[in-house]
Amino acid sequence: MQADDWYVYAAIGLLALCSLITRAGYMVFGDYLPLPDGLRRALRYAPAAALTAIVVPDLLPWRAGVGPVFDLKLVAALVAVAVYLRTRNAVLVIVSGMAALWLLRWAFG
């Protein structure tokens, strides 16, 4: 073990502790620290915001100096959204989106 290894282990330990506190904090201290109603209402939108933050950069890739670039994945996603609005069936959304992407890649790729 080298002399500078303590820094790495301390950083890992502190990050693990911070992760544990933030994840388990509301289960442990939830009764003693109730959330305000405004914050509770805002937290209902957190899953949709996280999903949007994951999906949108993949559908609209960003190139430096150019901006958002059109991609076939965006068209396939729009097909999947249209199928969902028509049928409300999650399996058909996946199948139609992938079929549209494969067909578009075959036709234009």
* 19 in a structural domain: yes
Does pTM surpass 0.75? no
Two structure tokens written together for 109: 């790729």
pLDDT single digits (tens) 39-82: 889 989 999 999 999 998 899 888 888 888 888 999 999 999 99
* 22 in a structural domain: yes
d(CA 80, CA 101): 10
* 20 in a structural domain: yes
* 57 in a structural domain: no
pLDDT single digits (tens) 30-51: 777 778 899 889 989 999 999 9
* 7 in a structural domain: yes
- Per-residue pLDDT, averaged over 99-104, amounts to 97
- Across the chain, what does the average pLDDT equal? 90
Amino acid 44: pLDDT:
94
Tokens 């067909």 -> residue: 103
Q: How many structural domains does the chain have?
A: 1
* 99 in a structural domain: no
* 40 in a structural domain: no
* 97 in a structural domain: no
Which residue range is the domain that position 20 belongs to?
A: 1-34
